[in-house]
Amino acid sequence: MTPFDAPGEWLRCALHAHTTNSDGDLAPGGLVRHYDWAGYDVLAISDHWVRTDEPSTDGLLVIPSAELNALAPAREDDAHVLALGLAVDPVVPEIEFAPLQEVVSWVLANGGVPYLAHTYWSGLRVDQWEACEGLVGIEVWNTGCELELGRGDASLHWDEALERGRLLYALATDDSHHPGYDSGFAWTWVRAREKTQEAVLDALRTGAFYGSTGPRIDSVELTDGDVTVRCSPAASITLYTGRRRGARINAGRLGYPHNAQVLERADDGLITAVRLERPFRQPYGRIEVADANGNRAWTNPLWIA
Ligand SMILES: [Zn+2]
Ligand SMILES: [Zn+2]
């Protein structure tokens, strides 16, 4: 079952953001008001080595979280692990950070859901983390890393791991440090049975969500032979299924269908429904939607070999 068929409600979540408890500009209360006013449903505050526990409001569910450093094998590169819903306060190690596997296991043992942040920004190679047991996913998109260095898009990392059969989910986040300048650009739509911390964390553990910097995905229907996607008006919709395979529809003057058929268009010619053919032998499948401004949305893997 995909999140698009699952019972429950869609919650717009900011899952990576900093306050004055680490290197962010706003105090925790200010950050909560900021995301509340921006119309979000959920905020995970993820300060470096600080579990920030700020009260929820009527509109915004706040999930205490943290961002922890770890050493990625074997080069001992600095990896950042999001510990979403962490239940205890982390303690900065005195001498050096622990290996990635240890940090991920510690997060799991202490109620958190571990995601590896900004792998492209960190300069990590896929083989440094794909074997990490218990790692739930990565960030396919990190706005801060994109705005500062152009290294916010880790979809290539994600595809490499998926192609090798490693199931990983992927978040889209702001990683906001300067709310207003680097916030409200990316979010994760979580399909939760209810708006509680437990239900949101369950959805994050099981991939019941999709990330977006703009487009909305309304439905994804899967058969043995194809995938039908309905979404907000899109310039392209792509089925990623492995190297040299896949399907894509493109709108516009150079509109070019590859293993795809338009089902519906908006008045301006952008595509709102498409049927994408599943090619023979597919290691995995995931959908990406792009709008006319280049904003994107990413489903989690629909299947994996
Ligand atoms: Zn980081
Ligand atoms: Zn961060």
Write down how long the chain is.
305
Of 118, 124, 152, nearest to 295 (Cα)? 152
Residue 254: pLDDT over 90: no
Task: Compute, in angstroms, the gap from residue 47 CA to the centroid of ligand 1.
Answer: 9
Task: Compute, in angstroms, the gap from residue 298 CA to the centroid of ligand 2.
Answer: 20
Residue 281: pLDDT over 90: no
Task: Compute, in angstroms, the gap from residue 231 CA to the centroid of ligand 2.
Answer: 30
pLDDT tens digits, residue range 80-98?
Answer: 999 999 999 999 999 999 9
Residue 239: pLDDT over 90: yes
Task: Compute, in angstroms, the gap from residue 81 CA to the centroid of ligand 2.
Answer: 9
In this structure, what are the phi and psi dihedrals at residue 19, rounded to the nearest 5 degrees? -125, -175
pLDDT tens digits, residue range 160-206?
Answer: 999 999 999 999 999 999 999 999 999 999 999 999 999 999 999 99
pTM of structure = 0.97
Task: Compute, in angstroms, the gap from residue 274 CA to the centroid of ligand 1.
Answer: 36
- List the Cα angle 292/295/297 in 5-degree steps: 115
H runs (alpha helix) in the chain: 28-37, 100-109, 119-122, 143-149, 155-163, 197-206
Task: Compute, in angstroms, the gap from residue 118 CA to the centroid of ligand 1.
Answer: 7
pLDDT tens digits, residue range 128-163?
Answer: 999 999 999 999 999 999 999 999 999 999 999 999
Domains and CATH numbers, the chain: 9-212 (3.20.20.140), 217-304 (2.60.40)
Which amino acid appears at position 211 of this protein?
A: G
How far is residue 63 CA from its own chain's centroid? 16
Task: Compute, in angstroms, the gap from residue 80 CA to the centroid of ligand 1.
Answer: 5
> What pLDDT is attached to residue 253?
81
